[in-house]
Chains A and B, each alone.
Chain A
């Protein structure tokens, strides 16, 4: 029987990093992935003469060599940064809420961002500066928390990171109101909320501040060969370090120790049994506790049932046979909303009928050579805040998909004035069914568990220790302690990988 120190289930962003960390810690590692490619959502696909990015809009908190973000630091220590060719995203975002005459294009750099905001909303400067100061303190507090694996000293927290602690229990809107930020500035600043998938009354301030701060302060990056380049770079690193990787191989069961109920092994889809005492699961606890393990404690069942799925994904990919200039696509990253009231917007995002929010990217605006000369490509993403796609029968599926895709094209043309419909050479659409198929996520969820007030970033980080309920089982990826998104998933793999190295060492 094959024996490993640890098995990593799922080669998504979290699983890939966890595998590297385990190998760096001296463990013998098997990584299994049910799809034939690594990366989970971090991949690409070809259609005609285009190679589409499957999911990455930009990699947050990467920065440059001179102004390195935490993700770059992580990639450096994993030994993968130089395996990837990076390019910088030119500007932060453009937000359009046509019904409210809001149309703002925001730059990278804290000073530049504050100045641009002041030009749109005179009198916003002071509150914006407070926001970024607090946000930087959040980042430093998180770095401290990570460095001590979540075992923070409350004296240190209060004395060095007081604002972080005092704001740590509030929602985004609660804090921004205390800062007396003008509503218009709040609307522009919070355009990014749909990337985190919870409305601003429910989303914890520190979570949002942490992300926006990293994004604006460090800029954002993109691998030239789409996120597939990152995923293959990680696999190549795993192989260099002596890890084993199996694709088209699903882990169907986690075997449990008779005595302590902890991990004893993993059964693969062809019946192969792997002996191991450690698993890092880069998948939903719903799947692990719902079907991969036989004996699950009532506590784990209750805790898993208590959690709420975050957004289910929908993305349309277009390859266009004209350039962005010719089509009138001016920006890299657009957010198009019906209203800047995120609570109302969130409600509208529950159903297929009402949802017409989109986050849209034209990759050529960051990397003009990403598609053949004379062409450009775009991707349009939205989220569904309920299981409405569960109501769509197979026979209605293709029509429903086309209806949503058409709505996205119309909306983009109407809000931006660009004309794209007549130039579509390739189109591909991914729905919750697509995400369910490739990554196995329940309901086609792409954002893990929702960052609801009670289950936000802070309480998850603070409870990392007690969430570890099964000996030898740790989680990585969008469902785990750092929540969803590329950088979060990478960090979760880093944390769970290192913790598992510790677990192995303690066992001797």
Chain B
């Protein structure tokens, strides 16, 4: 026989109780406070400090570090925070184009809480050239959200971090060194810093001033032999000389440095979890130049612009004055996630998309070269 549930002696009392559910809730809802609902919440306010999103900031200071490197200091309207090693995008309108580029933050996380942040940029391309030659104090630029995973991770990394820095790749490590010195981070940082000559070293005196039992900087010059400097490239012998036991390698520099370091590091048989590499922006593709049409749907508008086989479709959109979303420019962060309607394409480097993105036809324009005319749906920036 089927079971009959009964809690009270008389089953109808259970029924009466059930009937009271509605009046009971009705009364509770009516008893709520009449004061206005909150407009924000503490957690959400902190989230805004950790992830301010795009913000306008005033360029307050430009420092010349080396003949081809400058540091740009910005004042933001609100305080924000980040992890040493992260990057943010700096962008503005150049001519008719919306352009932005990711740069590692060279200032300390603590400074951002005081509304100050700096990036250090080597003059080497279109936008860095613009910054170098045109940007001036008082300009208002757009800064992106602090992003990236190129950070010391206390839960998994060895306390001993060996940093391999090439040229302007020193910037994230300079931020890390400052954050160790001011007590924000706690780990041992040995920086092997490679440059062509002594005068190419950025932050030389600042790094020397930060040296401590936790921070050690070794300068490695490839084109000069000088006392007090290592000479050559950063290879296995140098790493061996300055690090032993268990260590985490973090590298930031040009692609050529990575190719060399990868070979050298193989000698240590380190597991993948012990090596971190900051990604570089996708550049031009070395193919015969070919012109394609790129049709872009954004919001309620559609436009068709020119694209070139040698450049990413993100660059094509920027050239055409479309304000397309972008952050890492290396295919990894997914911020430019867009839907492909039709077209052939190639991806620069490893495909870092999610599995379902491949299945349903989504692409990351920042690392996508056109191989035919293309039609895409791009979210607004």
A residues near B, CB below 8 A?
A: 2, 36-37, 44-49, 51, 130, 133-134, 158, 162-163, 165-170, 174-175, 178-179, 224-226, 228-229, 231-233, 235-236, 246-249, 270, 272, 286, 289-291, 296, 298-299, 301-307, 312, 321, 387, 389-395, 397-398, 402, 405-406, 409, 423-428, 432-434, 436-437, 440, 442-444, 454-455, 458-460, 462-463, 466
- Count class of interface residues, chain B: 35 or more
Among the interface residues B11, B28, B46, B335, which one has the most CB atoms of the partner chain A within 10 A?
A: B46
| Complex CA distance for A279 and B21, rounded to whole angstroms | 28
Judged by a CB distance under 8 angstroms, whether B357 is at the interface is yes
Residue of B nearest to A179 (CB): B5
Judged by a CB distance under 8 angstroms, whether B267 is at the interface is no
Residue of B nearest to A52 (CB): B354
Contacts of A286 in B (CB 8 A): 37-38
Judged by a CB distance under 8 angstroms, whether B125 is at the interface is no
Show 16 A/B contacts (Cβ-Cβ < 8 Å), sorted by A: A37-B334, A46-B354, A166-B11, A166-B14, A168-B21, A225-B356, A228-B356, A232-B357, A306-B28, A306-B30, A321-B272, A387-B42, A390-B46, A425-B273, A426-B273, A427-B155
Known: A229-B355, A302-B31. A166 touches B7 (CB 8 A): yes
Pair B273/A432 contact, Cβ less than 8 Å = no
Judged by a CB distance under 8 angstroms, whether B20 is at the interface is yes
Segment from B47-55, B61-69, B169-177, B203-211 that makes contact with A: B47-55
Nearest CB of B to A466, in Å: 8
| Complex CA distance for A37 and B17, rounded to whole angstroms | 45
Please name the 10 residue pairs, one residue from A and one from B, whose CB atoms are nearest each other, closest first. Answer: A306-B32, A390-B42, A290-B37, A248-B379, A425-B273, A302-B32, A166-B14, A305-B32, A247-B379, A303-B29
Pair B18/A165 contact, Cβ less than 8 Å = yes
Contacts of B379 in A (CB 8 A): 36, 246-249
| Complex CA distance for A321 and B379, rounded to whole angstroms | 36
Pair B359/A436 contact, Cβ less than 8 Å = no
Pair A46/B332 contact, Cβ less than 8 Å = yes
Pair B155/A409 contact, Cβ less than 8 Å = yes
Known: A169-B21, A178-B5. A301 touches B32 (CB 8 A): yes
Residue of A nearest to B299 (CB): A246
Nearest CB of A to B112, in Å: 9
Contacts of A428 in B (CB 8 A): 149
Known: A321-B273, A389-B43. A459 touches B24 (CB 8 A): yes
Pair A46/B352 contact, Cβ less than 8 Å = yes
Nearest CB of A to B328, in Å: 12
Pair B29/A302 contact, Cβ less than 8 Å = yes
Pair A170/B7 contact, Cβ less than 8 Å = yes
**Which listed residue (B34, B272, B354) contacts A48, Cβ 8 A?**
B272
Contacts of A224 in B (CB 8 A): 355
Judged by a CB distance under 8 angstroms, whether B269 is at the interface is no
Nearest CB of B to A369, in Å: 11
Nearest CB of A to B5, in Å: 4
Known pairs A229-B355, A247-B379, A291-B37 / 6 extra A-B pairs, C-beta < 8 Å:
A225-B356, A232-B362, A302-B30, A302-B31, A423-B273, A437-B51
Known: A394-B113, A425-B271, A427-B153. A167 touches B5 (CB 8 A): yes
| Complex CA distance for A22 and B353, rounded to whole angstroms | 31
Pair A394/B49 contact, Cβ less than 8 Å = yes
Pair B47/A306 contact, Cβ less than 8 Å = no
Residue of A nearest to B24 (CB): A454
Known: A134-B5, A424-B273, A425-B156. A392 touches B22 (CB 8 A): no
Judged by a CB distance under 8 angstroms, whether B360 is at the interface is yes
Residue of A nearest to B271 (CB): A321
Pair B354/A228 contact, Cβ less than 8 Å = yes
Contacts of A406 in B (CB 8 A): 155
| Complex CA distance for A398 and B152, rounded to whole angstroms | 11
**Which listed residue (A49, A233, A424) contacts B360, Cβ 8 A?**
A233
Pair B155/A248 contact, Cβ less than 8 Å = no
Pair A169/B359 contact, Cβ less than 8 Å = no
Nearest CB of A to B325, in Å: 6
Known: A303-B29, A405-B155, A455-B25. A394 touches B34 (CB 8 A): no
| Complex CA distance for A247 and B357, rounded to whole angstroms | 15
Contacts of A236 in B (CB 8 A): 360
| Complex CA distance for A426 and B274, rounded to whole angstroms | 10
Q: Beta-carbon contacts of B1-27 to A below 8 Å, as 1s and 0s? A: 011111100010011011011101110
Judged by a CB distance under 8 angstroms, whether B268 is at the interface is no
Nearest CB of B to A84, in Å: 9
Nearest CB of A to B269, in Å: 13
Pair A433/B325 contact, Cβ less than 8 Å = no
| Complex CA distance for A443 and B47, rounded to whole angstroms | 10
Pair A436/B44 contact, Cβ less than 8 Å = yes
Pair B33/A302 contact, Cβ less than 8 Å = yes
Known: A46-B334, A169-B14. A51 touches B354 (CB 8 A): yes
| Complex CA distance for A306 and B34, rounded to whole angstroms | 9
Pair A459/B25 contact, Cβ less than 8 Å = yes
**Which listed residue (A44, A134, A174, A443) contacts B354, Cβ 8 A?**
A44
